[in-house]
A and B are shown apart, each in its own frame.
Chain A
Amino acid sequence: MKVPAKYRDFILNYNETFKYLEKEYSRKQVDDYWEYLSRNFLKKLDKLVKEKGISGMYEYWNYNLDREEAPYKLEIDEKRNMFVKTMTDWKKCPPIKVMIDNNIEPYRDYCMHCPGVYGPLLQDYGFNFKVKRNKECRVEITRENN
């Protein structure tokens, strides 16, 4: 798969930004930055979750992960009001792969940007965002009262 220069550049910049904020300021600044993105960047996800709940999450990630050509599996458990997103091999998660291919060391908590960015917005709608990672990366998004 050919990675566009702008996509590669952004991933490397994004990763470097996390390292910079922690080194120059603090780990809290990284969390605050992610929360800022959650409130300001995720307008499309915000609209979909507001209108469709977990089906909206499915629509959002199905479209985005497809665009990124990521190896993933999406599931909805209507009874448990749960959405599950599984990356079958976390090393093939598109940003991680770009860093591996470019010999760039990922920020030590790089994978935490996922709950860091998506978590606050989803929490506003009463959802919990949990990540379990071994070879695969499994994200479970459930209603807090489940």
Chain B
Amino acid sequence: MLEDVVPDWDVLRNLTYKYVYENFGREGLLKYYRHMANSDFYKDVIDNVKKEGLKGVKRYWENSSADDGTSYNQKLTRDKYSLEVNNCMAFKHFRDKKEKPFEMFCDYCMVVNSVIADKSNLFYELKKCDKKGKCKHIFYRKAELESTS
């Protein structure tokens, strides 16, 4: 089953980020993350979020975690989408495979979410991340921020 391959891929992602960091430094890794977030790979996601706003972010998250067993809570209001991940599956795979998580592994999600938000006239905030599989992300409509500031 293809699902069985996913834990190995998470390990490979972890090694890839570590490789880029070791060869090109912190800035090199962040540049790589930004490149990935701006690549064709996220084009459909960004187009969809531009069209649907916060609903599109919710749909993106539901689609990308639909079949991997991630436990999360989410809340969508008119002006805010919050997502709290209780057990990121990548970290479960690291534990199962005895792979040490690379310290900047979680920054990938942060950079991708920031790029999605920037390109879709939304604001993104990483509320918390324990770098062990629990994190909280919030996307806001910019109009909401402007009216409350």
Total number of A-B contacts with CB less than 8 angstroms?
A: 79
- B129 interfacial contact with A, CB 8 Å: no
Among B6, B15, B67, contact of A37 (Cβ-Cβ < 8 Å) = B15
Which of A4, A20, A29 contacts B3 (CB under 8 A)?
A: A4
Among B35-43, B79-87, B119-127, B131-139, which stretch is in contact with chain A? B35-43
Given known contacts A33-B19, A67-B2, A68-B5, A5 and B66 CB-to-CB distance under 8 angstroms: yes
Cross-chain contact B9 with A17 (CB below 8 angstroms):
no
Q: Tell me the bound Cα distance from A1 to B1 in angstroms.
A: 10
Within 8 Å of chain B (Cβ to Cβ): is A62? no
Count the A residues whose beta carbon is within 8 Å of the partner chain — how many?
Answer: 30
B107 to chain A, nearest CB (A): 15
Chain B hits for A25, CB < 8 A: 24
Cβ contacts under 8 Å, A2 to chain B: 2
A78–B41 alpha-carbon span in the complex (Å): 44
Chain B residues positioned under 8 Å from A37 (CB to CB)? 12, 15-16, 19
Q: Does A144 contact B (CB under 8 A)?
A: no
Contact across chains for B68 and A6 when beta carbons are under 8 A apart: yes
* Contact A4-B19, Cβ < 8 Å, known A10-B13, A16-B36, A20-B35: no
| B73: Cβ under 8 A from any A Cβ | no
A16-B36, A68-B5 known; A6 vs B12 contact (CB < 8 Å): no
Q: Are B68 and A4 in contact (CB under 8 A)?
A: yes
- Give chain B nearest CB distance to A139 CB in angstroms: 19
Q: A40 vs B100: C-alpha distance in the bound complex, in angstroms?
A: 12
| Contact partners of A5 in chain B: CB under 8 A | 63-68
- Report yes or no: B5 in contact with A7, Cβ–Cβ below 8 A: yes
The reply to whether the CB of A13 lies closer than 8 angstroms to some CB of chain B is yes
Q: Is B32 among interface residues, defined by CB-CB distance under 8 A? A: yes
Please, how many angstroms separate the alpha-carbon atoms of A17 and B5 in the complex? Answer: 19
Known: A25-B24, A68-B2, A68-B5. 11 other contacts (CB 8 A): A4-B6, A6-B9, A7-B2, A10-B9, A10-B12, A13-B13, A13-B41, A14-B16, A33-B16, A33-B19, A36-B19
Give me 30 A-to-B residue pairs in the complex whose CB atoms sit less than 8 angstroms apart, sorted by A's number: A4-B2, A4-B3, A4-B6, A4-B67, A4-B68, A5-B66, A5-B68, A6-B10, A9-B64, A10-B9, A12-B41, A14-B12, A20-B32, A20-B35, A20-B36, A24-B32, A25-B24, A29-B23, A33-B16, A36-B15, A37-B15, A37-B16, A37-B19, A40-B15, A41-B15, A67-B1, A67-B4, A68-B2, A94-B2, A104-B41
B residues lining the A interface (CB < 8 Å): 1-6, 9-13, 15-16, 19, 23-24, 31-32, 35-36, 39-41, 63-68, 89
